[in-house]
Amino acid sequence: MASGSDREGGRLRWLDCNARIGAWSNPQPEQFMDAAGLTDAWDRVGIEGGLVYHAWGWEWSPARANEMLLEEVAAEPRMRPCYVALPHATHEMEPVLRFAAQVRQSRGAVRIFPAKHGWSTQDWCAGALFDALQSTSVPLLVDITQVSWDAIAGICAGHPRLNVIVLETFYRVDRMVYPLMERYPKLHLEANTYAPFLGPEGIVSNFGAERLVFGTAMPELDAGGPMALVSYADVSEEDRAKIAGGNLLRLLGEEE
């Protein structure tokens, strides 16, 4: 995943903020687990690259998963690491400032699974982690099955310079999303399953195209759906390019 313009040769640059590699507990025969499978899937639909997390970090050990992830992405320049994080107090990971600096140096991001991993996003538990990510300009990704909208509000309120990308929201969310978008300018949505009728147009006209980030959720979900949500959006070509890839580049600090 190279830095550079969000359009190259007049074509959209598609960059995926939400992809996964590694083994997990209940794969289907159609799904891939390895990096080669992901790059093949990206190639099929024309996605240049993106942020990748390791399934072990979801279902086993974030620390071990991040080590494995770094080995994988070192061999695949199209992939940027999306580390899985835990709060600091149990010392299961590097101290948070050292961890955040490492993520920043690798131009990666951090994903959290508070519900599955059994911790709270409130500051008494995770404030130090979020402070560290904020101070190093590392984006935080979380899917909405893992936190409540109240928790999202709490993270954004307590850490107003932290870029947050909420993933896999589906379509019944605007009565929560709109007031949060109004209040917290660093809040972003993955333009994947965010599929209210004319939803992307509503976000762009009310809050700006900077707030949507393309992602696929492969190998769980299909890539064609989120791609069409962006490619057919009734927005300017400049805004479309931001959503397809430009915003992710910006959030990872690679804006031209």
Partner 1 sequence: MSMSLLEYARTGTPVEELFICDAHAHMGPYFNFLVNDEGSPGAMVRSMDRLGIDLSIVSPHIAITCDFREGNRHAYEAAEQFPGRILPFVVVNPNFPAAETEAEIARWDAKGILAFKFHASLHGTDTLNDGYTPAYEYANAHSLPILSHSWSGAGGPLKVIETLSGRYPNIQFVNAHSSSGWSVIDASCELAERFERVWLDLTGSRLVYGGVERMVARVGAERILWGTDSPFIDPRPGLGRMLCADLTDEDKRKILGENARGLYRL
Whether the Cβ atoms of residue 33 and residue 218 lie closer than 8 Å to each other: no
CA distance 238 to 82: 26
Binding to partner 1 by residue 202, rule CB under 8 A?
yes
**CA dist., res. 31 & res. 180, Å (int):** 34
Closer Cβ to partner 1, 122 or 145, answer by number: 145
Cβ-based nearer residue to partner 1, 49 or 199:
199
Tokens at 3, concatenated: 């830095």
Least distance CB 189 / partner 1 (angstroms): 13
Nearest distance from residue 164's CB to partner 1, in Å? 21
- 195 in contact with partner 1 (CB under 8 A): yes
Among 218, 248, 251, 252, binds partner 1 (CB under 8 A): 218
Q: Is 72 helix (H, G, I), strand (E, B) or coil?
A: helix
Please report whether residue 31 would count as binding partner 1 according to CB under 8 A: yes
Number of residues that bind partner 1 (CB under 8 A): 41
Instruction: Give CA separation, 85 vs 28, 66, 231, 234, 256, in Å.
Output: 27, 9, 32, 36, 28
Binders of partner 1 among 84-123, rule CB under 8 A?
none
Among residues 77, 95, 208, 224, the one that binds partner 1 under rule CB under 8 A: 224
Q: Does the footprint of partner 1 cover residue 193 (CB under 8 A)?
A: yes
Are 134 and 109 contacting, i.e. CB atoms less than 8 angstroms apart? no
In angstroms, the CA 240 to CA 242 distance is 5
Nearer to partner 1, 31 or 120 (CB): 31
CA distances (Å), 186 to each of 67, 166, 205, in order? 29, 11, 17
Q: Which is nearer to partner 1, 94 or 201 (CB)?
A: 201
Tokens of residue 247, six digits:
């915003």
Residues in the site for partner 1, rule: CB under 8 A? 12, 28, 30-31, 41, 44-46, 170-175, 178, 193, 195-199, 201-202, 218-234, 240
